[in-house]
């Protein structure tokens, strides 16, 4: 199985079976999120329904860093925006644009007082994130893949941006899973993923340690090669706790907007060969290739891509707009239910 299909199955399992630390909590699952220098395969945002109710007035779309700056600091009463909001560290004209965008999304109000733009909030932005869990997916963990992955996971542990970091790999059925014998950081948990009669399951075979997300982290920039004649020191820099707090919010906002089933937005369900299989997913299937396809393969550049015939798209209920549109509606409805 390719990593893309494995990744979708880990996400599907997490949506159904992940147990947040808070017994009343729920999990939001997303794919391919992180920072500019590090992207996680699966991200789980632990929150509660009450917290999501408080987040809902800010809209279904994410708040980017500029909008978050306005939403978190907008005053309860009218005030000049440059006096009400803290210095962002970048030109104020971008803040002014964000204030207008926030007003368009109706979570702040604006008015003019002479030449000044004043604002006040309509809703208080909630502290809606309990924990962030990052999962790196590697179905076939051979020795070379393990070495590369161990270095990536060491970066995750040192930075401490997520509360927990896991490695998910395909279960082998051996008495000791091979992943346990690899030189992975001890802070990283290990999930053995397998297919059963009840669908895809993941068993924790090594529990992770909770990372300190409220304290400064360490970015590993460069490390020695480790040869006999390499006496160089590792290069690193500190990540401020404020940066980590802001970045966690941005990641959570993107997860809130996206959901893991957004894979249909990066594939071509309007191809006549595109199908959905396995109701537990559902997962994409290419009838032309006779197997599951990856997001990179499923594009207009595919040699077997064939647009849906116009007659398909002109049909009425139950596939109004054609099967491709129906696939997108189905996945979007499932994402909305999870939200």
Mean pLDDT along residues 42-50: 96
Task: Tell me how far apart the alpha carbons of residues 223 and 235 are, in angstroms, rounded to a whole number.
Answer: 6
Task: Tell me how far apart the alpha carbons of residues 182 and 215 are, in angstroms, rounded to a whole number.
Answer: 29
Beta-carbon-side half-sphere exposure of residue 273 (alpha carbons within 13 Å): 18
Q: Is the pLDDT of residue 321 over 70?
A: no
| pLDDT for 232 | 63
Beta-carbon-side half-sphere exposure of residue 334 (alpha carbons within 13 Å): 19
25-60 CB burial, b ≥16 within 10 A, e <16: bbbbbbbbbbeeeeebbbbbbbbeeebbeebeebee
Task: Look at 193 and 316; give whichever has higher pLDDT.
Answer: 193
Q: Is the pLDDT of residue 317 over 60?
A: no
Query: Which pTM was predicted?
Result: 0.89
Q: Are 79 and 121 in contact (CB under 8 A)?
A: no
| pLDDT for 338 | 64
For residue range 166-192, what is the model confidence (pLDDT) as tens digits?
Answer: 999 999 888 888 888 888 999 999 999
Mean pLDDT along residues 136-151: 88
The sheet that has 164-170: what strands, in order across it? 26-34, 39-47, 131-137, 164-170, 189-196, 199-206
Q: Is the pLDDT of residue 249 over 80?
A: yes
Q: Which DSSP category does 223 fall into?
A: -
Task: Tell me how far apart the alpha carbons of residues 200 and 208 are, in angstroms, rounded to a whole number.
Answer: 21
| pLDDT for 106 | 95
Q: Is the pLDDT of residue 318 over 70?
A: no
Beta strands in 114-230 (DSSP E): 116-121, 131-137, 164-170, 189-196, 199-206, 217-222
| pLDDT for 314 | 65
Q: Are 129 and 213 in contact (CB under 8 A)?
A: no
Task: Tell me how far apart the alpha carbons of residues 116 and 118 are, in angstroms, rounded to a whole number.
Answer: 6
| pLDDT for 230 | 56
| pLDDT for 316 | 58
| pLDDT for 228 | 59
Question: Which ranges in 132-240 belong to alpha helices (H)?
Answer: 143-159, 178-181
For residue range 95-113, what is the model confidence (pLDDT) as tens digits?
Answer: 999 999 999 999 999 999 9
Per-residue confidence at 221, pLDDT binned at 50, 70, 90?
Answer: confident
| pLDDT for 281 | 78
What value does the mean pLDDT of the chain take? 89
166-194 CB burial, b ≥16 within 10 A, e <16: bbbbbbeeeeebebeebebbebbbbbbbe
Residue percentage of the chain with pLDDT more than 70: 93
């Amino acid at each position: 199985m390719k990593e893309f299909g494995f990744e979708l199955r880990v996400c599907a399992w997490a949506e159904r079976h992940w147990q947040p630390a808070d017994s009343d909590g729920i999990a939001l699952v997303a794919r391919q999120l992180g920072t500019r220098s590090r992207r996680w395969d699966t991200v789980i945002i632990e929150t509660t329904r009450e917290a999501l109710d408080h987040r809902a007035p800010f809209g279904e779309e994410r708040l980017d860093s500029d909008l978050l700056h306005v939403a978190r600091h907008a005053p309860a009463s009218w005030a000049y925006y440059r006096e009400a909001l803290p210095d962002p560290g970048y030109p104020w004209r971008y803040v002014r644009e964000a204030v207008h965008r926030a007003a368009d999304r109706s979570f702040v109000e604006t008015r003019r007082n002479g030449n000044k733009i004043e604002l006040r909030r309509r809703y208080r932005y909630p502290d809606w994130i309990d924990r962030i869990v990052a999962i790196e997916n590697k179905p076939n963990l051979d020795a070379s893949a393990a070495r590369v992955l161990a270095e990536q996971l060491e970066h995750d542990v040192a930075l401490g941006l997520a509360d927990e970091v896991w490695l998910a790999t395909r279960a082998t059925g051996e008495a000791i899973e091979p992943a346990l014998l690899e030189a992975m950081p001890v802070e990283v948990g290990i999930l053995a993923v397998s297919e059963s009669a009840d669908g895809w399951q993941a068993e924790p075979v090594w529990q992770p340690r909770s990372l300190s997300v409220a304290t400064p982290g360490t970015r590993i920039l460069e490390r020695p090669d480790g040869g006999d004649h390499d006496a160089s020191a590792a290069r690193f820099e500190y990540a401020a706790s404020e940066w980590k707090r802001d970045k966690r919010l941005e990641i959570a906002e993107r997860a809130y907007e996206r959901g893991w089933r957004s894979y249909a937005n990066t594939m071509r369900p309007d191809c006549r060969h595109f199908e959905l299989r396995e109701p537990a997913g559902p997962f994409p299937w290419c009838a032309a290739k006779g197997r599951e396809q990856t997001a990179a393969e499923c594009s207009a550049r595919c040699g077997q891509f064939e647009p849906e015939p116009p007659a398909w798209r002109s049909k009425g209920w139950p596939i109004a707009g054609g099967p491709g549109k129906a696939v997108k509606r189905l996945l979007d409805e499932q994402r909305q239910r999870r939200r």
